[in-house]
């Protein structure tokens, strides 16, 4: 009897091991040259991704890192205005890539980006717990502290994903500080029971990327994990330029900054949940607004945007057909045209 039981358990374990092997062996389709590109780029110094004047400001006792870039052309003796960029959950401000920064400085704008608490060079909130979670309102105050530290009274605010939620919070609660709002790939209530959920499939794919690539903590492993995340959240296929860009980002974060905080994502998700719905407050937004969303977004379904955008007085919308949570580079010109149509430039 015991022998049969042990045999059965052994078969179950074998099946689990085989299934796990099959599960982990599948995954994103990287370009054929991925390994060679990663090997080449981790053998040299990472690119310099901080291009402006950086600093740290205290916000409710927490250090918040920021960077300020001035207009790039000599004819702009003074900036046309300030653009504040707010990144999404679990990621630092370095995901605002140099081409995005230069698009604004090239038009005469001062650009400020900052690491949300829990990411990058801002404090990582080591004593955080779910009973004392911080909220999006707290994170909006971090953004205000950054503006204050740079002497900025009003800014054009662009937020993506969770950054869009923080930007909404600023436009609702601090209207005198927000000249315009660009709300990208986001929601006014992430946990709206009437909205489609991201689904267990996306969560399992994220888990697979973490288990398969990130557990070792190597630069190669972390690069492949982030490449997998980009592949999941974008509608077009990865290419060699993506591999070079992500490798540069990962090596810069790991060698020149603090690396990646695994606790940031659950903390940020808790902040979204704690803050609840902003749907009833959307009508309070008085500044010009542009809502941008991809129709194929599997992280935040476009139904969220279609629900909250009409609640904002005179909001403009840009629905990007077939685009995911992260937008493909081919859409950059269209997006920037719409943004500058809102803020001027």
- Which residues, at least 6 apart from 341, have a Cβ–Cβ distance to it below 8 Å? 290, 316
Q: Quickly list DSSP for 129-193.
A: -GGG---HHHHHHHHHHHHHHTT-S-EEEEEETHHHHHHHHHHHH-GGGEEEEEEES--S-TT-T
- Strands 155-160 vs 110-114: parallel, antiparallel or unpaired: unpaired
Say what the pLDDT of residue 199 is.
60
Question: Which is it for the CA torsion 282, 285, 286, 288, positive or negative?
Answer: negative
121-138 pLDDT, tens digit per residue, is: 999 998 999 888 999 999
Q: What pLDDT score was predicted for residue 16?
A: 35
Task: For 5-43, write each residue's pLDDT tens digit.
Answer: 444 444 434 333 333 343 344 568 999 999 999 999 999
pLDDT in tens, 219-274: 999 999 999 999 999 999 999 999 999 999 999 999 999 999 999 999 999 999 99
Region class of 316: left (phi > 0), else alpha (psi between -120 and 50), else beta: beta
- 186, 160 contact by CB (below 8 A): yes
Please state the domain extents for the chain: 53-195+276-343
What would the 3-class secondary structure string for 79-106 be?
Answer: CCCEEEEECCCCCCHHHCCHHHHHHHHC
What is the CATH topology of the domain spanning 53-195+276-343?
Rossmann fold (3.40.50)
Are β-strands 62-69 and 53-59 bridged in parallel, bridged antiparallel, or unpaired? Answer: antiparallel
How does the average pLDDT of the chain come out, rounded? Answer: 91
> Is residue 2 scored above 60 in pLDDT?
no
Q: What is the arithmetic mean of pLDDT over 49-58?
A: 97
State yes or no: pLDDT of 275 exceeds 60: yes
């Amino acid at each position: 009897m015991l022998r049969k039981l042990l045999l059965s358990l052994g078969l179950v374990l074998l099946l689990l091991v085989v299934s796990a092997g099959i599960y982990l062996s599948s995954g994103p389709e990287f370009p054929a040259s991925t390994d060679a590109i990663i090997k080449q780029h981790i053998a040299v110094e990472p690119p310099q991704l901080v291009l402006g004047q950086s600093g740290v400001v205290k916000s409710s006792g927490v250090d918040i890192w920021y960077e300020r870039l001035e207009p790039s052309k000599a004819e702009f003796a003074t900036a046309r205005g300030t653009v504040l960029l707010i990144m999404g959950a679990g990621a630092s401000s370095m995901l605002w890539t140099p081409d995005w920064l230069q698009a604004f400085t090239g038009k005469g704008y001062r650009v400020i980006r900052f690491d949300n608490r829990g990411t990058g060079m801002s404090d990582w909130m080591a004593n955080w717990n779910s009973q004392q979670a911080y909220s999006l309102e707290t994170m909006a105050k971090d953004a205000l502290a950054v503006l204050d530290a740079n002497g900025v009274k009003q800014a054009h605010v662009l937020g993506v994903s969770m950054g869009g939620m923080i930007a909404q919070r600023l436009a609702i609660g601090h209207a005198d500080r927000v000249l315009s709002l660009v709300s990208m790939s986001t929601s006014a209530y992430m946990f709206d029971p009437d909205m489609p959920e991201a689904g267990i499939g996306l969560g399992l794919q994220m888990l697979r990327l973490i288990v398969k690539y990130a557990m070792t903590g190597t630069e190669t492993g972390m690069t492949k994990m982030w490449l997998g995340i980009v592949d999941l959240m974008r509608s077009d296929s990865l290419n060699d330029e993506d591999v070079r860009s992500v490798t540069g980002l990962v090596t810069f974060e790991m060698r020149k900054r603090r690396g990646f905080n695994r606790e940031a994502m659950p903390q940020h998700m808790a902040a979204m949940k704690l803050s609840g719905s902003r749907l009833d407050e959307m009508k309070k937004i008085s500044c010009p607004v542009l809502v941008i969303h991809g129709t194929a977004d599997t992280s935040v379904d476009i139904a969220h945007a279609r629900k909250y955008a009409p609640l904002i007085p005179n909001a403009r919308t840009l629905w990007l057909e077939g685009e995911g949570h992260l937008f493909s580079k081919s859409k950059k010109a269209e997006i920037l045209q719409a943004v500058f149509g809102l803020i001027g430039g």
